[in-house]
Structure 1
Amino acid sequence: MNVYGVVGYKNAGKTGLMERLVVEMVSRGLSVSTVKHAHHTFDVDQPGKDSYRHRVAGASQTLLSSGNRWALLSELRGAPEPSLQELLAQLAPVDLVLVEGYKRDGHPKIEAYREETGHPLICSEDESVRAVAADFELECPVPLFDLNDTKAIADFILTDLGL
């Protein structure tokens, strides 16, 4: 499976870039899935709903299904967080998986960077970052793209992956 990441610090523009890249890649006829890493507790279920009640009652996994979609919720219940590779193995095959976060993993990545964040560039310390998408001109050791030039960024990713 072809995997490419979007990394950066908080408010760097990662989610917006991910969203635009999904639209761009799908418009080119590619099947795309996404993985998003969260650094905090999150809940996609609603209190009071049947699936929430199943999970709170102690179910290890709860599968919710309808005519439009299905979702599988897995509770770790104290077990370690699965690795990115373990999570990718859970996905159905697609042309491209775009990953938001997991900046310490070794898959190829593009760094989203906004001047206002003031953080150091990740690409300076991480060889898996292949390019930077920024909202201003800056010196960096990898190719630099305008953060809003989604087509050029998509072209770079597909070329880098050999697609």
Structure 2
Amino acid sequence: MSANHSIVLGICGTSGSGKTTLLEAVLPKLREAGLVVSVIKHSHHDLQLDAPGKDSFRHRQAGACEVMVVSPHRFGLFAETAAELTLDQQLSRLSPCDLVLLEGHKAQPVPKLEIYRTALGKPPLFASDPSIIAVASDVALNAPCPVLDLNHPEAVARFIVGWLARRKAAAPRA
């Protein structure tokens, strides 16, 4: 992992399992715990983040390799790439933080929290992915890792805070 972001946790699950919904509920709890958290959301689709006719779109169309749009409250960076960025390249573009949550990067070899809903009728990922360290589910499961109640984001956040503290304590000192 990137030197700026050595602690990464994947949030994985099948489509429709509620990854984004859980993150929306957990992120404020992590911030309340004093953590600075960034999220990288993976998409298999081509992204069009700016709109035709906007200055940023026109600059990219004219040949700029990167266009940054800045306001008093946020910024966005639009960049053309020849290939999908590696995880290290993605992480290197983020500011330093306590934790980076990866949503939808289920093939990455990083520790992961699986979101599992029985109603989707799909097998859980933990059965075939040893990097899954916990499962947040809507039912009790027999799993080789902790099973958290998907309907209690406070418990999920507490698990993440505890896991992160253990990772930081075990990290070699620079």
Query: Which band: TM-score by shorter chain?
Result: over 0.9
Give the structure 2 partner of residue 31 of structure 1: 36
Give the structure 2 partner of residue 89 of structure 1: 92
Give the structure 2 partner of residue 99 of structure 1: 102
> Given residue 69 of structure 1, which amino acid in structure 2 is its aligned partner?
R
SS in 2 for 1:16: helix
Give the structure 2 partner of residue 65 of structure 1: 70
Give the structure 2 partner of residue 129 of structure 1: 132
Give the TM-score taking structure 1 as reference length: 0.93
Count of aligned pairs: 161
- Displacement of 1:160 after TM fit? 2.0
- Displacement of 1:29 after TM fit? 1.3
Listed one character per residue, the Cα deviations across residues 11-46 of structure 1 (whole Å, up to 9, x for unaligned) are 001001111121110111111111000011121112
Contact 2:30 2:161 survives alignment (8 Å): no
From 142, 147, 159, the counterpart of 1:156: 159
Identity of aligned residues (%): 43
Consecutive unaligned residues in structure 1, runs of 5 or more: none
- Find out whether 1:22 has 2:27 as its counterpart: yes
- Find out whether 1:5 has 2:16 as its counterpart: no
Contact 1:84 1:102 survives alignment (8 Å): no
Once the two structures are overlaid, the 10-residue window that deviates more, 140-149 or 122-131, is 140-149
Give the TM-score taking structure 2 as reference length: 0.87
- Displacement of 1:59 after TM fit? 1.7
Structural RMSD (CA)? 1.3
> Given residue 45 of structure 1, which amino acid in structure 2 is its aligned partner?
D
- Displacement of 1:112 after TM fit? 0.5
> Given residue 97 of structure 1, which amino acid in structure 2 is its aligned partner?
V
- Displacement of 1:147 after TM fit? 0.7
Q: Distance in 2 between matches of 1:134 and 1:85?
A: 30
- Find out whether 1:116 has 2:119 as its counterpart: yes
Consecutive unaligned residues in structure 2, runs of 5 or more: 169-174
